[in-house]
Structure 1
Amino acid sequence: MRALRLPQLSSLRAFEHPGYLAVWLGALISNIGTWMETVSMGVYVTQETGRAEWTGGIVALSFLPSVVLSPLGGALADRFDRRAYVAVGITVQLVLAAVLTVLAFTGKLSVPIVGVVSLLNGCASTLTNPAFSAMLAELVPPRDLHSAMSLNSAQFNLGRIVGPLLAALVLQMGGASWALFVNTLSFVAVLVALSRVRLPARDPEAKKETLWAGITRGISVARGDEDIWLVLWGTLFVAALVAPFIGLVPVFAINVFGQGAAATSLLVACQGAGAVTAAVVVGTLADALGHRRLLGLAATSIGVVSALYWLSPTLTVAAAGIFVLGANYLMLMSGLHAFATSRVPRELQARVSSLYSMVLGGGYAAGVWALGALADRVGVRFVTISASVLFLALVLTLRLLSPRSFAGPQTSQG
């Protein structure tokens, strides 16, 4: 299998590596199925309960495990063959998807069951994701790491475009059970892709370190690097104050605009389209501006963009707003992730990635549930706009107190 040559656009350089491309395509197919399930279950919970708190709570259950399990997942990823480890995690998620599908087809699906499966799936994802991110880093040279992370976010968001559109079609024609069935089958694509790649041999000395020592070493390295520590705090605030726009899309579409599954799918797809558009250019922008400066611009603008999205007077305006917000969010989050992991040796990248996942998942779980609960009481627009303005105020304060955080070259060990 020959590598693609894309020298004219540095954002796409990771595609030059066949192993990365195979995993990227497999993950794309799987994420299309995942977004079909996400939209189907979001609409199901919102229509069954009529409460934003329930919709946000179910979403939060998928991310709560990251608060506890992410460091463990990072330590495990640095002890075992990452390809085999990821394959086991994907298989577990396949089984959980199959259980949900069977319950839907037999008419035994309920909101509490969706919550339990979401929690278990969150556990499996949390333990797998650090290994998956570190595996991607092993499939490309250090200079292409930002490209690899951005393109990985792009495939996730490309699934966010295709998945909701397919979900709307399948929901109309066959119902949620068929959308869940497609998601179950989609996990096979990742397993096939993993069978086609080979990773560099692991250091046998890494297995001699105890799990607890591995976890504490990762935390110690992160705390000892001022830039990584700042990235983790920034990720936490983005996750809690801005990122809940993702989980609250069904609430915005159904409770604010009085629409249903089609409107939910439209907004989710537009967010994905914005993210994919950004992924194509973010690497080139990072090369031109520097990673730190690009992150500063993305962090400063996202609070404004988020507030404008929640102020949208019509569904059409909201679709345009979430397109821009999706692009801004992709630039910021993929940049934060790549910046943090590039500052440590490869044997520690899974552990740093797991800390990023921990604060992202924990902050998002708390934020989406809290904002959803408050939205039921004082209105979704007031709560989400207030959170966006608060995030903007935090960023502007940091810019005044620490201008260095938003300018200057990246230092990397890559």
Structure 2
Amino acid sequence: MSSGPGAGSAPASLTENDKVSTFGSFQVRNYRIHFFGNAISNIGTWMQRIAQDWLVHELTGSAAAVGVTLALQFLPMLLFGLYGGVLADRFDKRMLLIGTQAVLGVTGLSLAALTFTGVVNVYHVYALALVVGLVTVVDNPARQTFVSDMVGPRLLRNAVSLNSANFQSARLIGPAVAGVLIAAVGGAWAFLINGLSFVAPIIGLLMMRTSELTRAERVPRGRGQLREGLRYVGGRPDLLWVIVLVGFIGTFGYNFAIWLVAFTDQVFASGAGTYGLLNSLMAAGSVIGALLAARRGSSRIRFTVAAAAVFAVLLVVASAAPNFLTFALLMPLIGLAGMTFQVTANSTVQISTDPAMRGRVISLFMMVFVGGTPFGGPLVGWLSDAFGARIGLLGGAVVCLAAAVGVAMMLARVGGLRLRISLRAGRRGVAFVPREESREAPAPAGAAVRPAA
């Protein structure tokens, strides 16, 4: 048995271009422990999300108050996300995660205690939501980049995909369990279960064999590390434009809660049951998308951009869905395309980044992906209220599609490519080709013209 770092973290015969089995990362003991611990915690997290929103609504009767709660959880990532990446590059990620999971568990238990005793008010929920947001600033980049430490670069895409499937599967279970608990015994039990659920990932982190982790070299404390990360991304167009695309899709495309509510109410004149069904259909598609992405050993950036374009086109089609059945059938496809884009963008950025910079780069990735929600959400919501649900969804979809096309053109320009549209037999289609591959020179007069290959 090898004693070097990362021993046992991936099969030696696997190359980055090989396809891997759907559950290939389960070969790694540390990842298996991490996966199942997170599965328990993710269910608790989804339970708390539903119960927390319901509690705020009960306390205030205001949808705006629910929006304030969400903003308090997302804004810290927008404001301080890059600093979390610096910490992830500087400190032991495993120890950081033990700390963040413990604090998140305490927030759940605190909310449970306040609710059980009947003293809870909306400001308690706001304060705890802000704490969760601040902890997420550190937890998110540390958790995202720790995946590479566990499985190495060869299985990174597979592991990122399985993590996404894990989270989306919990989305199918957690809200349903929370709904039953709220109706039967009250939301306090959902908070209690969430707080206790963090014991599972903490135990998993403590059980890991640290000798089998592929550790990136830690960045020593120094000045200008934040600017260094930004300069690194600025000098890498392949990273910069993918992150720009992630920002547009995250801000204008991932507002599912807003436009699903708008369609349920305005277009289909239905209630919470229909809203829950549409969410479940989308979550099911997301799980399938994550599992399919797990089989891909690697993918080019063009695949990520194409996934974004397909996602945007599906949103355009959904905005014009003539009836509920058509709209519902589109939900799994939208979930699949959206998750494919998210997984491939995340893993492509991580694989392409120097390990010493990975924490700062992935924190920028998450900052633009999540941090745009407080801006895109209200804008899409205003469009839906002012002009109808269909216009609200169409507006966000058109921005996403324009971003995908624009980023494709910029990456082609940076890569020295040009768009070729050919109608000749054997060469029909649209493709990006090297600029030096110019039009074929005309044949000399009298020369025989050979058929195209």
Structure 2 residue corresponding to 1:371, chosen from 362, 380, 393: 380
Of Structure 1 and Structure 2, which has the larger fraction of its residues in helix? 1
CA drift of 1:34 comes to 0.8
1:184 is aligned to 195
1:29/1:189 contact within 8 Å kept: yes
Check 1:163–1:307 CA distance in 2 against 1; reply closer, same or farther (3 A cut): farther
CA drift of 1:109 comes to 3.7
Q: Residue by residue, what CA displacement relative to the aligned partner does 1:328-385 show, whole Å, maximum 9, x if unpaired?
A: 1111011111111111222221121111111112112321233234444444442232
Q: What one-letter code is carried by the residue in structure 2 that aligns with 1:226?
A: P
1:386 is aligned to 395
Aligned: 1:270 with 2:276: no
CA drift of 1:19 comes to 0.5
Structure 1 residue corresponding to 2:163, chosen from 149, 152, 156: 152
1:411 is aligned to none
Structure 2 gaps of 5+ residues are 1-7, 418-430, 433-453
CA drift of 1:196 comes to 1.3
Check 1:12–1:261 CA distance in 2 against 1; reply closer, same or farther (3 A cut): same
Q: 2 CA distance for matches of 1:111 and 1:313? A: 40
Q: What one-letter code is carried by the residue in structure 2 that aligns with 1:340?
A: V
Q: 1 CA distance for matches of 2:269 and 2:119? A: 28
2:46/2:175 contact within 8 Å kept: yes
2:32 is aligned to 21
1:362 is aligned to 371
Q: 2 CA distance for matches of 1:127 and 1:338? A: 19
Q: 1 CA distance for matches of 2:191 and 2:269? A: 25
Q: What one-letter code is carried by the residue in structure 1 that aligns with 2:205?
A: L
Q: What one-letter code is carried by the residue in structure 2 that aligns with 1:323?
A: P
Q: 2 CA distance for matches of 1:112 and 1:266? A: 31
Q: 2 CA distance for matches of 1:344 and 1:134? A: 11
Q: 2 CA distance for matches of 1:166 and 1:393? A: 39
Check 1:77–1:396 CA distance in 2 against 1; reply closer, same or farther (3 A cut): closer
2:10/2:152 contact within 8 Å kept: no
Q: TM-score under structure 1 normalisation?
A: 0.86
Where do residues 27-42 of structure 1 align in structure 2 (5 Å cutoff)?
A: 27-42=38-53
Q: What one-letter code is carried by the residue in structure 2 that aligns with 1:93?
A: L
Aligned: 1:300 with 2:312: no
Q: 2 CA distance for matches of 1:18 and 1:201? A: 13
Structure 1 counterpart SS, 2:307: helix
Q: Structure 1 residues 311-320 or 158-167, which shifts more?
A: 311-320
Could you tell me the percent identity over the aligned residues? 29
1:52/1:251 contact within 8 Å kept: no
Aligned: 1:85 with 2:66: no
Structure 2 residue corresponding to 1:209, chosen from 211, 217, 221: 221
Where do residues 387-402 of structure 1 align in structure 2 (5 Å cutoff)?
A: 387-400=396-409, 402=411
1:149/1:338 contact within 8 Å kept: yes
1:412 is aligned to none
1:332 is aligned to 341
CA drift of 1:64 comes to 0.9
1:134/1:350 contact within 8 Å kept: yes
Q: 2 CA distance for matches of 1:194 and 1:322? A: 35
Q: Residue by residue, what CA displacement relative to the aligned partner does 1:15-64 show, whole Å, maximum 9, x if unpaired?
A: 21110111111111111111111122334445766665544443232111
Check 1:171–1:381 CA distance in 2 against 1; reply closer, same or farther (3 A cut): farther
2:78/2:370 contact within 8 Å kept: yes
Q: TM-score under structure 2 normalisation?
A: 0.79
Q: 2 CA distance for matches of 1:54 and 1:309? A: 29
Check 1:310–1:173 CA distance in 2 against 1; reply closer, same or farther (3 A cut): farther
CA drift of 1:76 comes to 0.9
Q: 2 CA distance for matches of 1:331 and 1:76? A: 29
1:321 is aligned to 330
Q: What one-letter code is carried by the residue in structure 1 that aligns with 2:191?
A: L
Q: 1 CA distance for matches of 2:311 and 2:60? A: 31
Tell me how large the CA RMSD over aligned residues is: 3.1
Check 1:356–1:156 CA distance in 2 against 1; reply closer, same or farther (3 A cut): same
2:229 is aligned to 218
